[in-house]
Amino acid sequence: MKTIYLAGLLLSSTATQALCQQSDSLVTQIQQTFQETAAATKKQQRLWGMDLYGPMLLVNPATRELYANLPDSAGDLQKQGNVYTGTLPKKINIANTSLYWEGRQWAMVMLPLPTNRDERINLVAHELFHRAQPALHFTANSPVNNHLDKKDGRVYLQLELAALLQAIAADKKAVRQQHLLHALTFRHYRYQLYPGADSTENTLELNEGIAEFTGMMVCNRDRAASITHFNKNVDNFVRYNATFVRSFAYQTTPMYGYLLSQIQPGWNRNINSQTQLTPLFVQAFGLSIPADVKTAAMTFSKAYDGDSIILVETAREKKMQEQIAAYTKLFVTLPHTELRFINMNIGFNPSNIVPIDGHGTVYPTMRISDTWGILTVTEGGLISTGWDKVVVGLPQTFTEQIVTGQGWKLELNKGYTLEKNTGGGYSLKKQ
């Protein structure tokens, strides 16, 4: 027994030493990330007429450990070299975003960071743009573009992206112009099919699209690396994103913006939240959109394997209708649990959401913190169209402060409980 005990002590000591070394290594890597980001933003400060570098939080979502480049106002963070470490409070959702915390506006980025230097700076600079948005006269607004979950919306977005990739790869101006004309014709036809889409797409492009354009420009890839980056991004986007409604702008705006920067450096300094990007691109590239966009779009689609895209999207549409019917039954028709928002903060994955016309959007995974507590969803919940409540299935287990259901967990703050309604559903009650 004594030998085993001593061995255990030795193993424990070795493990502790390894963990310390691992922690020191991570701090060194994070310090290097702060340094390389500071150098990149300073070098590219002409992009917005200011240096975007500022307060940053790099957070481990599994442990909530955070690493900051500046101290917090309360002095709770511990300094390790040039990095400040601590734990992010449970009430704050972890996401790639911008947030006000402890007296500062921070850019938050989830760990682990990309191993590739350009991708790493691209990601961090994207969030630094969000931190600087108010100073740059951009309002943070991210509307859902439900039409991009419809068959034709998805088809003509993918055709637009295919044409943009060809435009970026083109060596001759005339070829580039032709592909740009095709891309913007596909876009105009999409707007014709879905009235109002021009407005909602534009709003998201001015938010996430311009942020991603900023990340792309700050990391300063050469032409060959840029082509590789865009091809990889679009392929991953189409292949792995279950839906495009909140994520398309990460693809479109950076490509248009990159191409426009080749002929009009600094074009972005003349835009704000009121800018209409599509007519700006048409005019800046000197294009003339065909009057009959439907016929033109159908003709142009042949150059980008349009028939194959349509076949894939037709099959997807059938499956999605079945999924929507199941979600509608669970969250609308049958008794369910409703939690109305008071002072809501949410984190979610924008790549796998499911819009339900007239009712809202299902988020397969999300974390919501509010005055009443914390809701963690792993198998779907419906956010209402007006963003005033979240709906999940019926509860299965109750304790004094924790309620669970199929794919969700509710941690209630003191003073709140779930109460059964006459219809068999549940809702929040303040005690």
Indicate the Cα dihedral angle 114, 117, 119, 120, nearest 10°.
Answer: 60
Q: Residues 39, 121: one domain? A: yes
In a domain? residue 376: yes
Provide the mean pLDDT of the chain.
93
The answer to whether 380 touches 395, Cβ cutoff 8 Å, is: no
Q: In angstroms, what CA-CA distances link 223 with 163, 168, 176, 266? A: 18, 9, 14, 18
- Do residue 80 and residue 172 come from a single domain? no
Q: What amino acid occupies position 44? A: Q
Query: What is residue 3's predicted lDDT score, i.e. its pLDDT?
Result: 28
Helix (H) or strand (E) holding 87: strand 83-87
Whether 150 and 286 share a structural domain = yes
Percent of the chain at pLDDT exceeding 70: 95
Q: Please, how many CA atoms are within 13 Å of residue 355, restricted to the half-sphere of its CB? A: 16
Residue 8 CA to residue 13 CA, distance in Å, equals 8
Query: Please, which pLDDT band fits residue 16 given cuts at 50, 70 and 90?
Result: very low
Percent of the chain predicted with pLDDT > 90: 90
**Token pair of 229, please?**
């980056």
pLDDT digits (tens, 9 = 90+) for 75-85: 999 999 999 99
In this prediction, residue 133 carries a pLDDT of 95
CB 201 within 8 A of CB 146: no
User: Residues 126-140: what's their mean pLDDT?
Assistant: 95
Q: Is residue 58 part of a domain?
A: yes
pLDDT tens-digit series, residues 386-422: 999 999 999 999 998 999 999 999 999 999 999 999 9
pTM of the model: 0.88
CB 236 within 8 A of CB 229: no
Distance CA 299, CA 170 (A): 20
* pLDDT tens track for 23-43: 678 999 999 999 999 999 999
Residue 254 within any structural domain of the chain: yes
What tens digit of pLDDT does each residue of 236-266 get?
999 999 999 999 999 999 999 999 999 999 9
Residue 410, pLDDT score: 98
268: Cβ contacts below 8 Å, ≥ 6 apart:
47, 48, 210, 213, 257, 261
Q: How confident is the model at residue 19 (pLDDT cuts 50, 70, 90)?
A: very low
Task: Indicate whether 288 pLDDT > 60.
Answer: yes
The total number of structural domains that make up the chain: 3
- Torsion angle of C-alpha atoms 198, 201, 207, 210, degrees rounded to 10: -80
Per the CB < 8 A criterion, the answer to whether 332 and 374 are in contact is no
Give the integer Cα–Cα distance in Å for 285 and 390: 44
SS3 call for 288:
coil
In the prediction, which pLDDT does 23 show?
Answer: 65
Q: What is the pLDDT of residue 431?
A: 87
Same domain flag for 369 and 300: no
Question: In 3D, which of 360, 155, 174 has the Cα closest to residue 248?
Answer: 155
Domain hosting residue 66, numbered range: 26-136
